[in-house]
Amino acid sequence: MAGTWIEVDLDAVAGNYREIVRHLRPQARCMAVVKADAYGLGAVQVALALERTGCEAFAVTKVEEGLILREHGIKGAILVLGPSTAEEWPKAMEAQLHLTLSELSAITEINEVCLDLEQEVSVHIKLETGMGRTGFRFSELEALAHNLAAARQLKVMGVYTHFARAAQKDKSYTSEQYELFKSYTAKLEELGIHPLWKHVCNSAAFLDYPEWHHDFVRIGTLLIGHYPGPGFSGKLTLADPWIAKSKIVHLRKVPKGTYVGYQSIYCTKEETQLAVIPVGYADGLGIAPHFVPQGWVDFLKIIIKNFAALFGIFLSQERVELRGRTVRVAGKIGMQLTVIDVGLQECTLGDEVKIPLRRTLANPRIHRKYKQDGRIFAERIMEEGVSAIYPEYS
């Protein structure tokens, strides 16, 4: 039995989906963004649960992610948001994935592959309005229309753009992006391209701009029970589907003055118990994306944190929960083992500990247990880090 696992409550995910749908403009639908393994929850089980709840469209970044969803029975539209390559097109077409167009040269090439396979393919035009990543600029639209006119196998299902700063307080950049989107799509119409669906909103824009919902909103963050930023908390009633847990596998009473872990940065201040849990930074514990200070307050926080650490005071020390109480991590988090200082509270070998694992950074090899109607409904155990097993039992 795994000593560390993640419980994913699929009812919570389904509830979040229904809550999002309740806040949609009447003509709009929710496309579930399940990229990066549904932000770590597990793309297949999350997409299946959402499909059972009525979700008709999904988005991923890569073709391979889309193929996995199809192989596991997802029937809805699956949009590949990222660029795709020629080797991937035949498989993507066979699986009826929707491809994103963001490269002029790809249009003719995709059309040729379609002709060879006697297939049509649904495509979405990505417009670059300020993210600076992928998409067509205004100056390319005429060439785009020209190429599309000759590419008869391509069905233009959608047109979209992606916001860079929708979660930030200052909304002016987002408004500029939206104005560009409007002028680009007007130009496309003028050029005779009439995409069926328009979609621009991610989680933050969905909450802030109901008038921009159009045909679809593309939602990831809210579905997994998070808000896109501090200013958004409480705008919906969301449930958290995620609990990461580990078990105490070693427990010792130690005297005051015991050093713990690499570099001995932690020293017990009194008699206490040290417990070991089988989880570490290789599993994602204590790992966070690179943090860029937004202004002087953030910058000062970083300075103060690092200054305090020089004196052995760790302000950002991770905390875990044992028997309902908050307990500190003692010393540095190891690769696969972490020590916690549990004090003299009663506890025993095998006790469960709730751990703070960032969803998108949790190792996919960690065992997932999927709950529905209050019981474990399916599990996922990764073998060799790649092949997934999804035993489903009732």
Ligand X SMILES: *Cc1c(COP(=O)(O)O)cnc(C)c1O
171 given a catalytic annotation: no
Tell the smallest beta-carbon distance from residue 39 to ligand X (Å): 7
- 328: tokens are 């500190």
| Catalytic-labelled residue, pool 75, 256, 259, 262 | 262
d(CA 326, CA 323): 9
Q: Which of 17, 35, 245, 369 is catalytic?
A: 35
Query: Cβ 177 to ligand X, closest distance in Å?
Result: 13
Q: Is 237 exposed, middle or buried (0-12, 13-18, 19+ CB in 10 A)?
A: exposed
8 Å CB contact between 76 and 17: no
Q: How many residues does the chain have?
A: 394
Helices assigned H by DSSP within the chain: 10-22, 35-39, 43-52, 63-71, 89-94, 104-117, 141-150, 172-190, 203-208, 296-310
Closest approach of ligand X to the CB of residue 199, in Å? 8
Shortest distance in whole angstroms from residue 142 CB to ligand X: 25
* Beta carbon nearer to ligand X, 35 or 369: 35
DSSP 8-state class, residue 385: T
Beta-bridged to residue 111, according to DSSP, are none
Task: Return the number of the residue (205 or 342) whose C-beta is nearest ligand X.
Answer: 205
The residue among 199 and 247 lying less far from ligand X, judged by its C-beta, is 199
Check the annotation: does 359 bind a ligand.
no
Based on CB atoms, which residue is closest to ligand X, 104 or 164?
164
Closest approach, Cβ 216 to ligand X, in A, equals 10
Instruction: Determine contact, residues 8/210, Cβ cutoff 8 Å.
Output: no
Adjacent-strand bridge partners of 31: 57, 218
Among residues 21 and 309, whose Cβ is nearest to ligand X?
21
| Cα(320)–Cα(277) distance, integer angstroms | 10
Q: Please, what is the Cα angle at 126 between 138 and 86, to 5 degrees?
A: 115
Give yes or no: 235 in active site. no
Residue type, 261: G
Q: In 3-state terms, what secondary structure has residue 71?
A: helix
Q: Which is nearer to ligand X, 53 or 360 (CB)?
A: 360
Binding site for ligand X (CB under 6 A): 33, 35, 81, 162, 202-204, 218-221, 228
18 labelled ligand-binding: no
Distance, in Å, from the CA atom of 206 to the CA atom of 216, rounded to the nearest integer, reads 10
DSSP letter string, 175-236: HHHHHHHHHHHHHHHHTT---SEEE---HHHHHH-GGG--SEEEESTTTTT--SSGGGTTSS
**Main-chain phi, psi angles of 206, to 5 degrees:** -55, -45
Cβ at position 271, least distance to ligand X in Å = 46
Least separation in angstroms between CB 49 and ligand X: 17
Q: Which is nearer to ligand X, 221 or 372 (CB)?
A: 221
Which residue shows structure tokens 């599309």? 148
Active site positions, annotated:
35, 262
Specify binding-site residues for substrate. Answer: 133, 335
Annotated binding site: 133, 335
